[in-house]
Each structure stands twice: as structure tokens, then as C-alpha cells.
Amino acid sequence: MLYFLFDWLDRLYDLPGFGVFRYISFRAVMAALFSLFLSVVVGKKIIAALKRRLVGERIRDLGPETHKKKAGTPTMGGIIIILAVVVPALLWGNLKNAYVILMIVSTLWMGIIGFADDYIKVFRKDKKGLHGKFKIYGQIGLGLIVGLTMTLHPDFRGVKPRINGEGVVRVNELLQRYGFKKGDKILKADGLAPQWIDAQKDPAIARYEVEREGKTLQLDVPVGARSVVARQIFGHGDIAFATSTDIPFFKFRAFNYGKLVFWDDPNEFWSRAIYVLVCIFIVTAVSNGVNITDGLDGLAAGTTAIAVGALGVFAYLSGNFIFSGYLNISYIPHAGELFIFSAALIGACIGFLWYNTYPAQVFMGDTGSLALGGAVGTLALMTKKELLLPLICGIFFVESLSVIIQVSYFKYTKRKYGAGRRIFLMSPLHHHYELKGWAEPKIVARFWIIAVILTLAAFSTLKLR
């Protein structure tokens, strides 16, 4: 909203300094600061309101003994996070951008499901909360929304070709940097006629033969810019870009989920269907992962901030055609605005930690953990970094895996020996270390350190290829 207001004032009155509001980096800083302010200042009032209404956490009997002293701590603090994310995103983001709108929808969608779960636990006095199948339905619903939007909305289909049927190029600022001028007609690209260039293979073209004012010229493109210049001219290949993702450790390589369809698919229906299934899996897995991780003071909020920081940087790089070309990652038009949403989400998590670090004054509850998980999963899909999630969201991944291993082994040994056995003292993994005698702040701090290390490993994939 403020973005449009300041942009309108700048164009109308040419006010000095108002042009800064067009920059994503500036708006991201403002979103983070505003989010931090909301979560700390307004969050205090929300916590007081929760205390007045006796919205306290009910501790499981099966949990560690040390957690029983936390009974009565206000829960549903996820309201603070959602407020501190959505309001700055609305104020500083470009609301015409489909990426921003989808992130807001994802956060609110899972937040509502989490709120319903917390409401049943707190006000209905039912420790089980919302029935598991309804949570799954909600996660599947979000996966459908994300998958269908990304395969049907034109903003998610990559760069549109800037070359017409006659070979004439609509030159933009990027192409001007590499010698192209208005009215240029491409005769050949690396010796091939333009119509023979397959945009879906993401070509890296070194030399263009151009007709300009009746003369034939040769334009040589530097190695680091060949791919991005070719993308600008020939586009990405429509739906093939929407259903593809970057492959870590490989240059100029993207995996198209549509290639899993080995039968005839003329309308690309099955390609879209497979990608929607991928979206459902990612959204469900990540939201459950964050939910499971939310068991110690500050653990989920801190690790989410680290993960979102990594995805936000990837969004900024992918949304800039110069950076994406240099790093040989997919250029995703309009994705730069995700950096603003990521900054707001980081600010919300850090501000929430003001009250959520040990000993916590408030818990986020499922209202916060499911909202954060839905946002992280959707963000990974839109930045085409879902294959890096085992690194970026490594803590969530291991926490979820520890529960799966524990439950599976217990059931297996019960069938085989008549009595169930356990691998961990308790799952998720953070409870295992609690029962080993580690102090809660030490577990949280070490998990944060591991999350940072895994994030740095994810960034290293930009060069280790």
C-alpha cells in the first residue's frame, strides 16, 4: 500500500528521495523494522490479552518432567507472528505481484488451521486439538492452491520471449548492456536461425549475428552473461518453467517435473498434476516439520528465521537477471518481491523471540508453527529451491525423521518381540537431548548453530558445481 502511495507521489510531484521506495532492498529493510516493531510492541499487548483470557498451555503427560512448570504459559502467540508478517507485507510489498499475494494467502491459510487447533485445546479443554485428518485436509488444500496457482498464473511462467516471428528484438536495459539496440534483427544465434533455438533447454549463446540499419554485425556475449541474455531474448518455454526446479551442484541444469510423465500429454495436464502433488508434499512436510520442532523455547522461531533468511537471499538473487545470470540459477521474474516478505518474516520471528526465549513468556502454538511452516514451504517452491530443503530446513527434516524412526521402530519391535522398543529416549530429537540432561537453552543454541552451518552449506551450492 505504501509502495503505491510513495510511487504515485514521486511520479506526480517528483519529490526528492521518494524514488528510493522503488528499491526492493530499501523496502525489505523497512518491512523488517516495521515487523520487529509490531512483534515487540504490539506483541506485549497481545500477550497481556492472552493472560487475561487465561489462554494457557496445557502440558502433555507424556512430555519431559521439566516441561510441567511451563503449564499456564500463554499460547496462541502465533497471532503476533502472523500480524507482524502480514501487515508489513501489505504495506511495503507490491500487491500486484502474484508471489507476494500467494505468500500472504499461504501464511493466513495455515495460521487459521493452527488457530482452530489451539482454540480447541484451550477453550474446549481437549488436549488432542483439531483432528489430525482436518490438518491434513488443510495442508492438502494449501498445496492445491500453491500448485494450481503456479501452473496456471502467467506470472509464474518465467521470462516471455522478447523476439518476434521476424527475429526483431524488443531491447531492454539488460540487452543494451551487451550491445543490442532498438530495431535489431537476429539472423543467427551461434550459427542457428532463431526459430531453431529451444528455449526449454536454457541455451547459453555466445555469438549473435544481427542486422542493424541494413548492416550485419556480430555481437559476442561474455561467458558469465550468455545464459541470462539468451533467456531474455528467447524466454523460458512457458509451462516447462513453471513445473521445473533448480538442481543443486549443476550449472545450467533444471529438472522439469513434467518429464516424469512418460506417456503422451498434449495439454500438459499430467505435468501440472505431478507438480501439484509435489507442492502438496512440500507444504505438508515443511509445515509438519516446523510444528514438530516447536517444542523448546525459541527453537522453532529461531530456526525458521535462519531458513527464511537463506530462502530470502535466493529469492533476491533469482529475481535479479544480472545476479541469476552470473550465478547460473533460474531467473524468476517478479520473485524479487519475495525478499520483502522474507524480511518481514525474519523480523517477526526475531521480535517474537524477545518473549519466546527461555524462559518463554508466550508460546506460538500451532497458530504460529503451522503458519511458519506453510510460508517456508511455499517460499521454497516459488524460489525453486525445494531440492535444497534438506539443508536449508535441516533441523525440521531431522526432527521429523526422528519421530518417523521412533514410531516405526517401536511398532516393528512390538510386532516382533511383543513389547515396543525405542531408539531415542524420546522423540522429537530435542526431547532426547533433554532427557540426556542437556539444558534447554543449550539445545536451542546448538540447534541454531547447526541450522546456520547447513544454511552456509546451501549457499555453497551456488559455486560448488
pLDDT in tens, 261-276: 877 777 778 888 999 9
57 in the same domain as 103: yes
Q: Is residue 395 part of a domain?
A: no
Q: What is the pLDDT of residue 239?
A: 66
239 vs 258 pLDDT, higher one = 258
Please indicate whether residue 231 or residue 206 has the higher confidence score (pLDDT): 206
The pLDDT of residue 146 is above 90: yes
pTM given for the model? 0.87
In this structure, which amino acid lies at residue 126? Answer: D
Residue that terminates a domain, selected from 347, 364, 389: 389
Looking at per-residue pLDDT, the higher value among 38 and 19 belongs to 38
Residue at 44 is within a domain? yes
Distance CA(97)–CA(118), nearest Å, equals 32
Q: Say what the pLDDT of residue 229 is.
A: 84
pLDDT tens across 386-418, in order? 999 999 999 999 999 999 999 999 999 999 888
DSSP E strand stretches across 130-206: 185-189
- pLDDT computed for residue 243 by the predictor: 87
Q: What is the mean pLDDT of the chain?
A: 88
How high is the pLDDT of residue 200?
57
Residue pair 327/462 in contact by the 8 Å Cβ criterion: yes
Chosen domain end from 362, 389, 416: 389
Counting the structural domains of the chain, the total is 2
Report, as an integer, the average pLDDT of 438-459: 96
The answer to which of 81-85, 309-313, 418-422 has the lowest mean pLDDT is 418-422
Mean pLDDT on 133-146: 95
From first CA to last CA, the distance across the chain in angstroms is 41
Q: What is the pLDDT of residues 297-307, one digit of tens each?
A: 999 999 999 99
Residue 113 placed within a domain: yes
Q: How confident is the model at residue 329 (pLDDT cuts 50, 70, 90)?
A: confident
Q: What is the pLDDT of residue 208?
A: 92
Specify whether 61 is located in the same domain as 131. Answer: yes
- Phi, psi angles (nearest 5°) of residue 56: -105, 155
Is the pLDDT at 183 greater than 90? The verdict is: no
Do 39 and 75 belong to one domain?
yes
Q: To 5 degrees, how large is the angle CA 405–CA 305–CA 450?
A: 50
218, 235, 252: which is the final residue of a domain? 235
Neighbouring residues of 419: CB distance < 8 A, sequence distance ≥ 6: 413
The pLDDT tens digits for 207-244 are: 999 999 888 989 999 877 787 788 788 876 566 778 88
Domain of 228, in residue numbers: 173-235
Same domain, 185 and 74: no
**Predicted local distance difference test score (pLDDT) of residue 356:** 94
Is 292 in contact with 336 (CB distance < 8 Å)?
no
pLDDT tens digits along 36-83? 999 999 999 999 998 888 766 666 655 676 677 777 788 899 999 999
Give pLDDT, residue 60.
Answer: 61
Give 328's pLDDT tier (boundaries 50, 70, 90).
confident
Query: How many percent of the chain have pLDDT more than 90?
Result: 57
- Shared domain for 285 and 379, answered yes or no, is yes
pLDDT at 63: 62
Counting residues of the chain whose pLDDT is more than 70, the rounded percentage is 94
- The residue with greater pLDDT, 381 or 159, is 381
- Same structural domain for residues 51 and 191? no
Residue 371 and residue 315 share a domain: yes
Residue 101's Cα: distance from chain center in Å?
13
Q: Which residue has the higher pLDDT, 203 or 132?
A: 132
Enter the DSSP assignment of 163.
B
Distance CA 285, CA 85 (A): 22
Answer yes or no: do 152 and 277 share one domain.
yes
User: Is 421 a domain residue?
Assistant: no
Cβ–Cβ < 8 Å for 291, 369: yes
User: Quick check: helix, strand or coil at residue 218?
Assistant: strand
Do 286 and 144 belong together in one domain? yes
In a domain, 317, yes or no: yes
Inside any domain, residue 406:
no
Is residue 87 included in any domain, yes or no?
Answer: yes
**Of 35-49, 200-214, 345-359, where does mean pLDDT reach its minimum?**
200-214
- 377 & 228 share domain: no
Are 202 and 137 in a shared domain? no
Q: Is residue 427 part of a domain?
A: no
43 and 132 share one domain: yes
